[in-house]
Amino acid sequence: MTKISNLFPSSQGKENVQSQSVACEQNAQPVRHLAIIMDGNGRWATKRHLPRLAGHKAGVTALRRVVECASDENIEMLSVYAFSTENWGRPRAEVDGLMRLFWETIRSDLEKLHRDGVRLRHLGRLKDLSPDIQRAVRDSVELTRNNTRIGLNVCFNYGGRAELVDAIRQIVADGRNPETITEELISSYLWQSAYSEYYATPTLWPDFGREDLRQALDSYYQRQRRFGRITVPPAAVAQGE
């Protein structure tokens, strides 16, 4: 199941949502940040009696397609989860294959991504990856750093808990006084999906295309976003008091 979340699509709901129509207006704001869990490569391959790595290769093809579609939709930032810290627990051949595929894709696609105005960034623990991959990632981030068409964050060796550990280590290393540690400060050390809207589709990632993206965006635009708050008459909350 491919899952999509829209991160920070509006100004985090700071302007209070007073009515449904305002909420809809707020929803009409364009999606700024879209994050995708590229799930289903293995099942896509198995259904075709192919090795799982063939599914991951088809996943890269889908990723190329979706970067173009997201760019056409004027999405500012696309984040894709490509390899989690938990994925090291997969069979050695699959892990090696994913590493090779990541490296080969950077090498084969970097020039075109740069030409298309894509700004690449890596999220996750780079230092645990091979020196070749580290170099390729650093070079591609450096080459594309001034591009403005769309940002592409590739989460590779990324994990939510690993990110928390790294953030806390950095807060300590920065010598922060415990009294100054606030939600805002912690947020500034994290890449977070608080208040993102989630959308799940049965489409396996290698089959995901323009129409699936449009459906996900349409679903988002129809939602009423409340950021944990509700606006109902008091009587609806405490009747008879």
User: Which residues form the catalytic set?
Assistant: 39, 87
| R_g over Cα of the chain | 20
Distance between CA atoms of 132 and 135, rounded to whole angstroms? Answer: 5
Q: Kindly tell me which residue out of 82, 118, 150, 216 binds ligand FPP, with binding defined by CB under 6 A.
A: 82
State which residue, 102 or 220, has the beta carbon closest to ligand FPP. 102
CB of 38 or CB of 129, closer to ligand FPP: 38
Q: Report strand pairing: 2-7 vs 33-37.
A: antiparallel
- Total residues contacting ligand FPP by CB under 6 A comes to 17
Q: How far is the CB of 142 from ligand FPP (least distance, A)?
A: 18
Decide if residue 208 touches ligand FPP (CB under 6 A): no
Tokens, residue 144: 């594309």
What is the Cα 206 distance to its own chain's centre? 17
Q: Which of 7, 23, 36, 60 binds ligand FPP (CB under 6 A)?
A: 60
Scanning 11-19, 39-47, 113-121, 209-217 for contacts with ligand FPP by CB under 6 A, the matching segment is 39-47
Residue 59 interacts with ligand FPP (CB under 6 A)?
yes
Which residue, 150, 159, 163, is CA-closest to 63?
A: 150
Place of tokens 């799940």: 200
85 touches 98 (CB < 8 A):
no
Q: By CB under 6 A, name the binding residues for ligand FPP.
A: 38-43, 56, 59-60, 63, 82, 87, 98, 101-102, 105, 154
